[in-house]
Structure 1
């Protein structure tokens, strides 16, 4: 018996009786995943799945004890049951964020896509798609699924009989179609038909996912065409007409909005009555979110001029105007956006006005909702490109609300308001009304903004409003010049161009031009003009305008005054400015101690003379007598405020102007210039022979005047002995006052001369240019570029 027993023990070396293992430790079960026995693997995977399903903490525990890597290997096992249980366990774990992040590093996606084949059972499909749905939220994994050709089998599984497989597949597709390439692929692989079929699903979650996928797909033209060909729009209308599906209406309307961007679709809908159904649905009272999405359909379709025309023909403006009165802010906002879109069509602009829509939009500007103000201002900005709409906004007081919105905290509202005011200001009547409500002061703050659109619109508005002299004065008084000049430093090309344009308008008047010069505007403009990248079509105009209203600076910098540059009260000749040197103001020169340099010659005119000159300019600009009266009062006040210190009226100069008018104006053209030249010569010391010029005591005379006045600034009427520079200046000054045309040109070594243009005879085809001799043979006209003229111009 003993031997027999021993023999039996020897024969049992080849087999091992089954050993049942019971454990409650996850780590032990995970170790079993490395077993070579299929039965053990089946039970281990099943246990892991059951444990993982109990909650996130269990999934993390399994991950921490190393379950993930062996599971990823086992999902490709040859045994169907092992493979199924492994994918169930992996799919369950993948819904945890920490596990999902780890899976991305294990390159498991190709293996998961293999499990989507028709050979696998529905359970494998369910958990493979669940795992892919979890991973596809990440952009990198999304790209890997697409590159691994994962879309075709996922699309095929949309026709699965299992709703969980359908749901998971839809989630994968939804994540992937955020990218343009995937949207194209879904269309190319025939995804539209099964997607539309799933709209009939009994499960709301599946229907909602289908709608979300379609929202993305219908963003592309080709996909929209396929959607239309497969009667997708008709299926959407069926859902809209069924109140049992009201929870889907909001998403359906977003797809409708995409489809209405297609002119072919909207024409087809108009013919089939589908568009009328959409309009009816928009008017039906409903949940605000659904109502808003319905209105967005119009906004989207109105982006196309062809679609906009169809909508207009179906009276969409009437629907929108009615919706502006709905007592719901979200609906009002959506309606304003739709009005803004439709207003790009001229016929719609007129219809909105006729139906009272413009006035209702102005009312919306009074809302407490910042978003509604923004939307309403955008609509008004588009509508006021029409003059009649601008007038309507003005008549209902919209301009006052828009001016207030220039200080709004919402950048888009500020930009839209400035744009609307700019549109309105193109009409003179409205411009005056806008200015009278403090718009120039209100524009100062937007000019300090960093938002480029606010700056562009505000500068454009400023340039238009600067047509009125009162507006320019108010802008300067409100402190608008510093931020305007600061914008000349902008590196935004369009902002810089409009800032230059605004400077052109503001610099029409002398005082703001002088102030801008003090702020460094001229130096900034010179830098801009020298820059290849920054100069623009307005920068040179701005420089010219700034100098034209600041002739003293112009003469110092350029050494030339044109015949159109009229010398008036306060003009001074500070000499030729050195390169990069800033020309001092008259105030600064008057306060400097007496020095050894040449005197600064200043032209002082009487108040009456100055006013007469200004009145002539104002009469050309003022549109009515009342405006002219106001202009004169403001300019007089501004003049008094900016008057240089120590100014005295030049009584002798006034007498000289009076004498010149009496004796010169009755003469013919040539004699006028000859007589004026002799008058200037007699006033400043008479004729001086060229060879005896060095004996003429003009320098001593000027030094005595400086000493007597204790100032470097000498009024021109006190100068009784002078040569080229002072005589040429007096000639130009007198010529400007009596209406004769001449230039003033600075030559080398402080010489100066005057150039005139005359016809030699009434029959002369072309005029000739002459230099006027004011010293050697006063009254002689020297033909330009002749030896005598060149000798007079230079030493």
Structure 2
């Protein structure tokens, strides 16, 4: 129902007739939070008409926070709401204070993104490329920003290539007088690198070699960082990784590791992680890049440290030669120290590298000598399932050594390990079972694990079809075979391979859910007329 139109005392402070029962701007601004699309569209329309009546009204809307509310509507699913919100921004932009706020909100990029779906239909590529010839830098910059947004679409990249746009962008990079545009031109080319067809065309014309040569000599951190990020995105495609390897992009990435700029080195490390999915790249980057990456582990920047250990994890996975290079570069100590960081990703990747190194006996012995089991207690207590899984896996890798098992017992690592058997995460539970199986291979550790409740938990797991696995069954068997007194009490029998030795005792069968008591606990009980406890003392008598 239409609101009756009354002649206002102050015309600027009242809206034209609308299908909204409100005359005050504050109320209409509140309506911008409505969940109803129709209300939002009409509220925006009302604000547009209100703002168009003069600068005073624009100032009023600015004070009411209208632009902040409208900014959220730029990504609204309803096209009418988006259109009406953009119209308000357009009329508000004539006010100086409003323009400042629009810049702070970075509205330009949001508005440009609205162009992407219609690029192709409007055949906008030729005029945008034409704007790159403008004598005004701001127009050239906006044209490149628009190209960067719309070139995220594959069909648009094809049109860009057909209109010689790739050559145009490369020419900008080669022109030192246009250095202010290099970062934005590189952003567009970065999108093109994600497409195999576009990348092949750049390569065939020699453009890729030109691009990499330009990047190798550039000393601008933003250019270096954005180039590495573009390579990271592009390298997710195996065919693109091959092309980048043929053009020796690894050489450029290795240069970036020595820039002494944390942001650039983070981006380079991430690009190395992506590129080493290619076997040939992995070999090149491993031999030359691992010593540089190990040096960066001493950096206090935790984001950089995480990127570096992730790269090292990818480089050493299924590659014994690279694992050897890490050890030779004295990477073991800084990797163990990385387990004390606050970033779960860094801890997880550092454990992965150390586990990869453990496949070679000299490296495993060195890692054990530097207190790996003590360092793993913290990760075992983590609340992050990936860290828990990696830590349990590492325990399984290093607990094959008796000294390492003793260290884990002495530093209280068995308790957190047993707790991981309760995990609902399948990987964590499986790796914890594996670690318990390895740790339970000697009687002292097996007894301690049983004391901590590992047997009961494993029996419970093995009763569940969903939760049991081959390691849970093997872990239960290992613990019982190294704790024969308890096995006989629980099972009522021993296997032919079980050899009774000094210290074995038979206290009768423990009922399900009952506690198996140690000899010390049994000796403290009062004598009764119940069945005697049989104890084997095979020590020779002293004469």
Tell me the TM-score normalized by structure 1.
0.57
Contact 2:75/2:82 (<8 A) preserved: no
The structural deviation recorded for 1:592 is 1.9
Contact 2:74/2:82 (<8 A) preserved: no
The structural deviation recorded for 1:330 is 2.3
2:164 to 218, 228, 231: 231
Taking a change above 3 Å as real, the CA distance of residues 148 and 308 of structure 1, as seen in their structure-2 partners, is: closer
Residue 30 (structure 1) aligned with residue 12 (structure 2): yes
1:519 to 452, 456, 460: 452
Structure 1 counterpart of 2:76: 142
Structure 2 counterpart of 1:299: 232
Cα distance in 1, alignment partners of residues 510 and 15 from structure 2:
92
Contact 1:173/1:213 (<8 A) preserved: no
Structure 2 counterpart of 1:48: none
Taking a change above 3 Å as real, the CA distance of residues 294 and 559 of structure 1, as seen in their structure-2 partners, is: same
Structure 2 counterpart of 1:368: 300
Structure 1 counterpart of 2:506: 573
Structure 1 counterpart of 2:424: 491
Structure 1 counterpart of 2:528: 595
The structural deviation recorded for 1:577 is 1.2
Counterparts in 2 of 1:771-786, with a 5 A limit?
Answer: none
SS at match of 1:581: coil
Counterparts in 2 of 1:64-463, with a 5 A limit?
Answer: 72=45, 86=52, 92=58, 96=62, 98=64, 100=66, 135=70, 137-139=71-73, 142-145=76-79, 174-175=109-110, 183-187=116-120, 190-354=123-287, 356-385=288-317, 386-463=319-396
Structure 1 counterpart of 2:403: 470
SS at match of 1:268: helix
Taking a change above 3 Å as real, the CA distance of residues 94 and 462 of structure 1, as seen in their structure-2 partners, is: farther
Structure 2's unaligned 5+ residue stretches are 1-7, 18-22, 32-41, 88-98
Contact 1:33/1:71 (<8 A) preserved: no
Contact 1:236/1:252 (<8 A) preserved: yes
Taking a change above 3 Å as real, the CA distance of residues 594 and 210 of structure 1, as seen in their structure-2 partners, is: farther
Contact 1:340/1:378 (<8 A) preserved: yes
Cα distance in 2, alignment partners of residues 349 and 64 from structure 1:
61
Cα distance in 2, alignment partners of residues 364 and 482 from structure 1:
34
Taking a change above 3 Å as real, the CA distance of residues 558 and 97 of structure 1, as seen in their structure-2 partners, is: farther
Task: List per-residue Cα deviations over 1:86-131 (Å, max 9, x = no partner).
Answer: 47769956973736369x8xxxxxxxxxxxxxxxxxxxxxxxxxxx
Task: List per-residue Cα deviations over 1:290-326 (Å, max 9, x = no partner).
Answer: 2211222222222222111112112222222233222
Structure 1 counterpart of 2:35: none
SS at match of 1:143: coil
Contact 1:358/1:393 (<8 A) preserved: yes
* Higher mean displacement: 418-427 or 187-196: 187-196
Cα distance in 1, alignment partners of residues 230 and 455 from structure 2:
52
The structural deviation recorded for 1:452 is 1.9
The structural deviation recorded for 1:234 is 2.3
Cα distance in 2, alignment partners of residues 498 and 189 from structure 1:
57
Structure 1 counterpart of 2:36: none
Structure 1's unaligned 5+ residue stretches are 1-25, 36-60, 77-82, 105-134, 154-163, 607-649, 656-795
SS at match of 1:580: coil
How many residues end up aligned between the 2 structures? 504
Taking a change above 3 Å as real, the CA distance of residues 30 and 580 of structure 1, as seen in their structure-2 partners, is: same
Tell me the TM-score normalized by structure 2.
0.82
Taking a change above 3 Å as real, the CA distance of residues 458 and 207 of structure 1, as seen in their structure-2 partners, is: farther
Cα distance in 2, alignment partners of residues 95 and 65 from structure 1:
11
Cα distance in 1, alignment partners of residues 425 and 312 from structure 2:
26
Contact 2:266/2:304 (<8 A) preserved: yes
Counterparts in 2 of 1:686-765, with a 5 A limit?
Answer: none
Taking a change above 3 Å as real, the CA distance of residues 238 and 581 of structure 1, as seen in their structure-2 partners, is: same
SS at match of 2:534: strand
Contact 2:13/2:57 (<8 A) preserved: no
Taking a change above 3 Å as real, the CA distance of residues 34 and 215 of structure 1, as seen in their structure-2 partners, is: closer
* Higher mean displacement: 357-366 or 466-475: 466-475
Contact 2:74/2:111 (<8 A) preserved: no
Cα distance in 1, alignment partners of residues 127 and 398 from structure 2:
61
Task: List per-residue Cα deviations over 1:28-57 (Å, max 9, x = no partner).
Answer: 23379769xxxxxxxxxxxxxxxxxxxxxx
Contact 2:316/2:356 (<8 A) preserved: yes
SS at match of 1:538: helix
Cα distance in 2, alignment partners of residues 381 and 33 from structure 1:
63
2:481 to 528, 538, 548: 548
Contact 1:422/1:461 (<8 A) preserved: yes
Cα distance in 2, alignment partners of residues 65 and 430 from structure 1:
70
Taking a change above 3 Å as real, the CA distance of residues 213 and 484 of structure 1, as seen in their structure-2 partners, is: farther
